[in-house]
Amino acid sequence: MSRPPPGPRLHPAHWPLGASGLTGQLLVLLVLLLLALRAVIGANCPCQEPKLCLPISHHPDYEVFVFDVGNKAWKSYDWSQITTLATFGKYDPELMCYAHLKGARVVLKGDVSLKDIIDPTFRASWIAQKLELAKAQYMDGINIDIEQEVNYSSPEYYALTALVKETTDAFHQEIQGSQVTFDVAWSPKCIDTRCYNYTGIADSCDFLFVMSYDEQSQIWSECIAAANAPYNKTLSGYDDYIKMGINPKKLVMGVPWYGYDYTCLNLSKDHICTIAKVPFRGAPCSDAAGRQVPYKMIMKQVNSSVSGSQWNIEQQAPYYNYKDQLGQFHQVWYDDPQSISLKAAYIKNHGLRGIGMWNANSLDYSGDATAKQQTEEMWEVLKPKL
């Protein structure tokens, strides 16, 4: 939003004297301060209050890292908790202004082909472009989301670590208080052939966002439907990261606000749902046999399902069965406040940096009484238990 040019500057030598002169001096100082602020943040700040275009500088003790994929759902988020919002949808200046008003960072999405970043010149150019974009949009950093295959000691292995360090150095130098984060799989054990230099990357950025979901992307045992983020499997991943020497304060737990809907080739009396064999990166089966379903859709369907919500003790996760219009049985696995709270207890017990989710748009913000309660409960479970 452009503003009219400021009026003529008054040289201190021409300030009037006396009480009225003091008032004049204060007014001129105020004008000079506003001019200085405008110079710092630029003339195109979209916020009504120019100070909202300044970067967030404080660092919270507990991180609540939120992914947003677009539209205006963000207006209904629980901003009393959010510390960082990663924008994976279209840039919304109104969102940036509101987040800054609430003291929350807003960060870019960073994605790039690993083959390209082997070239140091390309890396420097990519970083410069992202930095320029962050400044133009008054962002507070970048979330690097590169979920591509990497082999140990390959050129990509070293280039990726270099990219993270160089990006962090550039952002920290150019944007005061900025944050650079990197998304990793639920376990460091080469999940989906992502054999990254995890310790090096953790050392090179502010923290890792651990994507503790899609844990059935490679199914090596029976081809049956299972939890998106089973309790023991999820927490074993954090144990492994910490055993590698990564500081727990460098780890943010990511939880899913979505589930998987599987078509059952056969559904046993014991609720065992056999699924189609869809290979993925060497594994005979995968969650690609199902489809992702947001929590808001799950909540609309579960009560009318043939089984109602069931609880699997071994995986510490809920699921239900339903029959589609063609008479085919389906099984839906998901996370709810109960399953998330069990995993979230690990954060406090092991000193992790915080929690986050994919993604905040998955809840029902319609205002319906039942939906409102369900949505509030999902946000509430993110708070650390004292």
Tell me which residues are annotated as active site. 147
Structure tokens at 54: 């300044």
- Residue at 14: amino acid letter: H
Tokens 């670590």 found at: 161
What Cα–Cα distance (Å) separates residue 257 from each residue in 48, 94, 292, 337? 33, 25, 10, 10
Contacts of 35 (CB under 8 A, 6+ apart): 6
- Residue 292 Cα to chain centre, angstroms: 17
Rounded to an integer, what distance in angstroms lies between the CA atom of residue 193 and that of residue 185? 10
Task: Dig out the tokens for 23 from the structure.
Answer: 């008032």
Across the beta sheet with 290-294, the strand order is 290-294, 258-263, 329-333, 317-323, 310-312
* Overall size of the chain counted in residues: 386
CA–CA distances in Å: residue 131 to residues 142, 158, 191, 269, 281: 9, 22, 30, 56, 34
Running DSSP on this structure, what letter comes out for residue 14?
G
CA distance 212 to 237: 8
Q: Report DSSP state, residue 306.
A: S
Strand, helix or coil at 60?
coil
For 215: left if phi > 0, alpha if psi spans -120 to 50, otherwise beta; the answer is: alpha
Q: Which of 184, 91, 168, 172 is nearest to 123 (CA)?
A: 168
